[in-house]
Amino acid sequence: MIVPDQIGFGKSSKPIGYQFTFQQLAINTKAVLDYLKVDKIHLLGHSMGGMLATRFALMYPEMIKTLILENPIGLEDWKVVAGYTTIEEHFQNELKMNYEAAKKYQAASYYDNKWKPEYDEWVYLLTAWIKDKDYPIVAMNNAQTFDMIFTQPVLYEFQNVAAPTLLIIGTRDRTALGKNTVKDEAVRESMGLYQNLGKATQQKIPNSQLVELDDVGHMPHIETFERFITPLKAFFKKN
């Protein structure tokens, strides 16, 4: 199993002035696989990783045995309804990030406000950088990748995905970037409804299967690991 930290994330480098695109991150991932002499993969992407996995599958279809998308974001085009926030504005917001703000966002978007104490460690993971002297570089990378996610949707190309695809969707997920900029309450409440987005996406991707996990949010592998891993194993056996 190969689990890379993308540039700007985790233990990978945090470059200044890097041009973040899903295409570039896919190229970087391909370089890792080439270095390891791996030419066929089962590709799993969660959240932003789902957008990247989709882009990788579109760029390198010959490498993909199966594609698994676990609560991927980008199943709707937020920029159609939400206002644009500049990278500088995102950067300033990131500089203000703290544990309470991160927990509030995760509770509302990831878990539909059904919080459990065991979720705290994932907030700590994202906010541990804050006290480091180099946090402004991390904050800028976060702002740049937010802009990448918001401006580079992949949903218009789902019909071109050739690999057998499994969608694992926690239907209580409410993740939608830019929701806070939408003034119309009806429009805002219509964003990030994964009980609808999963079905719509499955209809777009040829040779795809949808597994919906009722009463589960953005993080099925954390909230309910057995319900997540069981259909994944069954999919692997079939393909």
Q: Mind listing the pLDDT tens digit for each residue in 24-62? A: 999 999 999 999 999 999 999 999 999 999 999 999 999
Asked whether residue 4 is domain-assigned, the answer is: no
CATH number at residue 89: 3.40.50.1820
pLDDT tens, residue by residue, 187-221: 999 999 999 999 999 999 999 999 999 999 999 99
How many structural domains does the chain have?
1
Please indicate, yes or no, if residue 90 is contained in any of the structural domains: yes
Q: Please choose, from the candidates 97, 78, 199, the residue with its C-alpha nearest in 3D space to the C-alpha of residue 149.
A: 78
Q: Residues 40, 65: contact at Cβ < 8 Å?
A: yes
Q: Distance between CA atoms of 35 and 148, rounded to whole angstroms? A: 26
pTM equals 0.95
**Which runs of consecutive H residues, i.e. helices, occur in the chain?**
22-35, 48-59, 87-95, 99-109, 120-127, 135-151, 185-189, 194-204, 220-223, 225-238
Note whether 56 and 161 are within 8 A (CB): no
Q: What is the domain range of residue 182?
A: 22-238
Is there a domain that residue 8 lies in? Answer: no
Helix (H, G, I), strand (E, B) or coil at 56: helix
Structure tokens that stand for 224 in this block: 């309910």
